[in-house]
Amino acid sequence: MNALVSLIVVAVLTAVAVAGAGARPSAFVLGIVVPYAAAAVFLLGIVIRVLRWARAPVPFRIPTTCGQQNSLPWVKSSPLDNPHTALGVAARMALEVLCFRSLFRNTRSELRDGPRLIYAENKWLWLGAMTFHWSLLAVVVRHMRFFMEPVPFPVLFALRMDGILEVGVPVVYMSSLGLLAAAGYLLARRLLSPQLRYISLAADYLPLFLILGIAGSGILMRHFTKLDVIAVKELAMGLSTLQPALPEGIGALFFVHLLLVSSLLAYLPFSKLMHLGGVFLSPTRNLANNNRMKRHLNPWNPPVRVHTYEEYEDEFRTLMKGAGLPLEKEPK
């Protein structure tokens, strides 16, 4: 049911794009107004959400520790799983962001007859996620060839590496297949496993359907239905140079592709896809575990009036002397 709702949303978007592609004024809206609006929502949305997160105070260090904390010199600590320096944190975050290290530790639990609870390694989700995210990055970098003129070296390099297998004319990019396969796997996982289906919301399916629609329409255009790539670049360069114009001869499938991308961009700041920024702000990952080395003050603590022993003695010195109690400072 949840999956169906998301599928209908994507189908409606597709239909809107197909209907709008035919006439010039509506194609102008789909090709220029919608992408600009989506980019604005994307950028503003992300900035606002991250600024809201930035206002949250960080009073304590709450890293999840998966290894021995740094303590005495002869106790071996694990600098990556329980970092206590900024460098350690940077390394831990890099592994997290680039290699999805905590997902790598994913396990699967099963109740076997006995009844025995069995835990086993489960690397499939990690593999699917790695393939998905790295392919997505390659796809995004590759697409910069449409928005930049002359095409800069890093983009050309990405194009070359992605097509290094030199299969087909025009070459098949590995990331096209990777993205489609991995997004397909991530969707199949949710649909086929009863436990996962039970916890999956429409908001879990929508990004997957959008991305599958985007990847599918892109591959169709590049390898099957074909389109005038030069006209597409003219459109994209019009957007980059802020002199938008709508060239002739762009097919409906391209507008489907563009509307799905615009929808994904505009939806991103409001969705679970904000983990794009959130992963960097996970306090259980990005804080050094130096609670025992540094004093962390809670900024919203009310000021506490303390009465030190020195002040106590000053106050009661004569009485204490009279009672014969030991004193740190003798009265004059």
Residues contributing to the site for ligand HEC (CB under 6 A): 169-171, 222, 229-230
Site string for another protein, 22-51 (x = CB under 8 A): --------------------xx--xx--xx
Interacting partner of 155 out of another protein, ligand HEC, none (Cβ under 5 to 8 A depending on kind) = another protein
* Crossing angle (nearest 10°) for helices 124-147 and 202-219: 50
Beta bridge partners of 193: none
Determine the Cα–Cα distance for residues 274 and 292; give it in Å rounded to an integer. Answer: 33
CB of 134 to ligand HEC, least distance (A): 21
Largest CA distance in the chain: 104
Beta bridge partners of 109: 119
Interacting partner of 184 out of ligand HEC, another protein, none (Cβ under 5 to 8 A depending on kind) = none
CB of 228 to ligand HEC, least distance (A): 8
Kindly list the distances between the CA atom of residue 227 and the CA atoms of 205, 235, 242, in Å, as whole numbers in the listed order: 29, 13, 24
CB of 265 to another protein, least distance (A): 10
Between 18 and 151, CB nearer to ligand HEC: 151
CA dihedral for 197, 200, 204, 210, sign (positive or negative): positive
Between 7 and 156, CB nearer to another protein: 156
Beta bridge partners of 107: 121
Interacting partner of 25 out of ligand HEC, another protein, none (Cβ under 5 to 8 A depending on kind) = none
> Is residue 281 within the footprint of another protein (CB under 8 A)?
yes
Chain-centroid distance of CA 173 in Å reads: 23
Determine the Cα–Cα distance for residues 233 and 227; give it in Å rounded to an integer. Answer: 11
Q: What is the DSSP letter of 233?
A: H
Chain-centroid distance of CA 206 in Å reads: 16
Q: In this chain, which stretch among 69-77, 129-137, 141-149, 188-196 interacts with another protein, using CB under 8 A?
A: 141-149
> Is residue 243 within the footprint of another protein (CB under 8 A)?
yes
User: How big is the chain, counted in residues?
Assistant: 332
Between 16 and 220, CB nearer to ligand HEC: 220
Which residues are near another protein by CB under 8 A?
42-43, 46-47, 50-51, 53-59, 144-152, 155-156, 159-160, 166, 168-170, 226-231, 233-234, 237-243, 245, 249, 277, 280-281, 296-297, 299
